[in-house]
């Protein structure tokens, strides 16, 4: 469906300053600052050389030229759902614009086969003065749908968007969420062979995001191709079997989403087995967490936990005045951002409902071995009143890795955790399991 060969795209910084309204103003500017303008115009010629594929080391290192993409290569087969991830400025949107034919690459080329629908920005192609109904027909026409096709799908588009009450209201009175609902609905019902979706679902509410993910899932099951850019790693892992990680315009990793997302989220994260709170007391709070440590069973600090090894989390906190119904919580998340557990120190102790007097406390959470899948994890801690009001909270204070040592299972096994549960297997029938049956005159074994 898509074949990208050495796609590169560069932009010149400060183009506006180099443009003049007339030849006279350009000459006057040149006379006033000859050296500055000489460098500027020299860089313009360099940029022209780059766009003419005359790239050399002096061109690529020019200070006012930025490379959004550098030699990006990949192939996407028909029916694949592929996620594109990376930090802001990594080149994700530039890549989609090239694939959508909005802009041309500086070098390289992209082959695309089939009908393309792209949703790159909220309300792209929508006219604010037109009603939602009129914009459905306008946007559908821009995306390549004829009037008959739009009419046949109009009710379905409007129902999916959830803006039926406002369909005859000018779009300028829509919220950004309503606009993206309608825009996505039109693009999703185009029935393209290839659907390009940029980070637009972040605008919609949680319910609509789930509807969109479901729709894109159905699109993929129908044999169509989806290229999905998002910062929502949970959505990427749920929807896309394969992901491509862009870093500074280059493909850093291309593979299964579990592998790529895990590597992306873990990049730049240093393991930390201990944490000390250096901030001041929260305003109006009577309790504060002071420290947290990840410990081995023999009380040694550790940042790497073997799969089959136990570990403990020790949290120290201080209370100024007596407090009733105070609980300490720990929340563990994996490298995909999924919550693995939320545990309270009142779950299995007799502190639930009791008054904790002023002073310093230590709560220790003991985790068994053989529970967490190998990978990276982050632990957050908090103090909660009545299990609903946060008195103090600190996110990702401990970061650690569960190694593959002692892990004898398949790494591709589904699930957030892989507990070694206790099984009991008994034979309840001693009848011979091998029976001779006769079928079509031939003996077959059952």
Residue linked to tokens 């050389």: 49
Q: How many angstroms separate the CA atoms of 444 and 446, rounded?
A: 7
Look at residue 200 in the predicted model and tell me its pLDDT. 61
CA 200 to CA 101: how far, in whole Å? 19
Query: What is residue 204's predicted lDDT score, i.e. its pLDDT?
Result: 58
With beta carbons less than 8 A apart as the criterion, state whether 287 and 281 touch.
Answer: no
Query: What pLDDT sits at residue 316?
Result: 96
Per-residue pLDDT, 39 = 57
Do the first three CATH levels of 69-266 and 274-402 match, i.e. the same topology? no
CATH code for the domain defined by 69-266 = 3.40.50.300
The DSSP letter of residue 102 is: S
Contact status, residue 185 vs residue 211, Cβ threshold 8 Å: no
Instruction: Note down pLDDT in tens along the chain; length 446 residues.
Output: 889 999 999 887 765 554 555 666 667 766 666 655 555 555 544 544 555 554 444 444 555 778 889 999 999 998 888 999 888 888 888 898 898 888 888 888 888 887 777 766 655 668 889 999 998 998 888 777 788 888 988 998 898 888 889 999 998 898 877 887 888 788 777 777 788 887 666 555 666 777 777 777 777 777 788 888 887 776 787 778 899 999 989 999 999 887 887 777 666 555 678 999 988 776 777 899 999 999 998 888 888 888 888 999 999 999 998 988 899 999 999 887 889 999 999 998 888 888 999 999 999 999 999 899 888 899 999 999 887 788 888 988 999 988 877 787 777 778 888 887 888 888 888 765 544 444 454 444 43
- Give burial (CB, 10 Å; 0-12/13-18/19+) of 60: middle
Q: What is the pLDDT of residue 251?
A: 92
DSSP result, 37-58: HHHHHHHHHHHHHHHTT---HH
Q: CA-CA distance, 143 to 135, in Å (whole number)?
A: 12
pLDDT of residue 59: 47
One CATH from 3.20.20.30, 2.70.50.60, 3.30.70.580, 3.30.1600.10 for 274-402: 2.70.50.60
Backbone angles phi, psi at 324, to 5 degrees: -100, 150
pLDDT of residue 1: 84
Question: Which tens digit of pLDDT belongs to each residue from 146-191?
Answer: 888 889 889 988 988 888 899 999 988 988 778 878 887 887 777 7
**Strand positions, DSSP E, 300-374:** 304-305, 311-319, 323-324, 326-334, 339-344, 355-356, 359-367
- Whether this model's pTM surpasses 0.85: no
Q: What pLDDT is attached to residue 260? A: 85
Question: Would you state the pLDDT for residue 57?
Answer: 47
Q: How far is CA 157 from the centre of its chain?
A: 26
Structure tokens at 396: 């990702």
- Where along the chain do its domains lie? 11-68, 69-266, 274-402
Sheet strands (E) in 190-337: 194-197, 225-229, 242-247, 250-256, 274-276, 287-295, 304-305, 311-319, 323-324, 326-334
């Amino acid at each position: 469906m898509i074949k990208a060969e050495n796609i590169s795209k560069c932009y010149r910084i400060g183009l506006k300053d180099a443009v003049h309204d007339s030849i006279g103003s350009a000459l006057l500017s040149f006379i006033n600052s000859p050296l500055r303008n000489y460098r500027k115009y020299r860089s313009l010629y360099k940029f022209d050389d780059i766009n003419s594929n005359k790239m050399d080391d002096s061109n690529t290192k020019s200070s006012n030229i930025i490379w959004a993409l550098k030699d990006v290569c990949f192939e996407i087969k028909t029916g694949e759902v592929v996620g594109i991830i990376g930090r802001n400025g990594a080149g994700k949107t530039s890549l989609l614009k090239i694939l959508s034919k909005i802009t041309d690459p500086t070098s390289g080329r992209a082959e695309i086969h089939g009908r393309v629908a792209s949703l790159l920005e909220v309300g792209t192609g929508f006219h604010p003065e037109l009603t939602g109904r009129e914009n459905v027909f306008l946007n559908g026409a821009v995306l390549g749908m004829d009037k008959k096709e739009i009419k046949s799908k109009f009710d379905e588009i409007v129902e999916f968007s959830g803006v039926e009450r406002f369909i005859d209201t000018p779009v300028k009175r829509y919220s950004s969420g309503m606009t993206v609902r309608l825009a996505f609905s039109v693009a999703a019902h185009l029935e393209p062979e290839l659907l390009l979706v940029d980070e637009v679902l972040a605008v919609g509410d949680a319910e609509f995001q789930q509807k969109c993910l479901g729709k894109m899932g159905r699109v993929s099951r129908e044999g169509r191709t989806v290229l999905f850019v998002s910062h929502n790693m949970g959505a990427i892992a749920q929807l896309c079997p394969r992901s491509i990680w862009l870093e500074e315009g280059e493909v850093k990793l291309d593979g299964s989403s579990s592998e790529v997302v895990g590597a992306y989220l873990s990049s730049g994260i240093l393991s930390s087995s201990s944490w000390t709170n250096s901030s001041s007391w929260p305003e109006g709070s009577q309790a504060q967490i002071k420290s947290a440590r990840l410990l081995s069973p023999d009380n040694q600090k550790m940042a790497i936990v073997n799969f089959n090894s136990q570990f403990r989390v020790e949290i120290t906190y201080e209370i100024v005045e007596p407090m009733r119904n105070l609980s300490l919580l720990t929340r563990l998340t994996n490298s995909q951002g999924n919550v693995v557990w939320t545990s309270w120190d009142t779950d299995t102790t007799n502190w639930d409902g009791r008054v904790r007097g002023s002073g310093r406390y230590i709560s220790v959470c003991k985790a068994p071995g053989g529970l967490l899948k190998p990978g990276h994890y982050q632990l957050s801690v908090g103090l909660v009143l009545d299990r609903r009001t946060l008195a103090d909270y600190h996110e990702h204070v401990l970061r650690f890795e569960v190694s593959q040592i002692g892990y004898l299972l398949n790494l591709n096994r589904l699930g957030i955790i892989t507990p070694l549960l206790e099984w009991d297997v008994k034979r309840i029938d001693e009848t011979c399991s091998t029976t001779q049956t006769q079928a079509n005159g031939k003996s077959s074994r059952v």
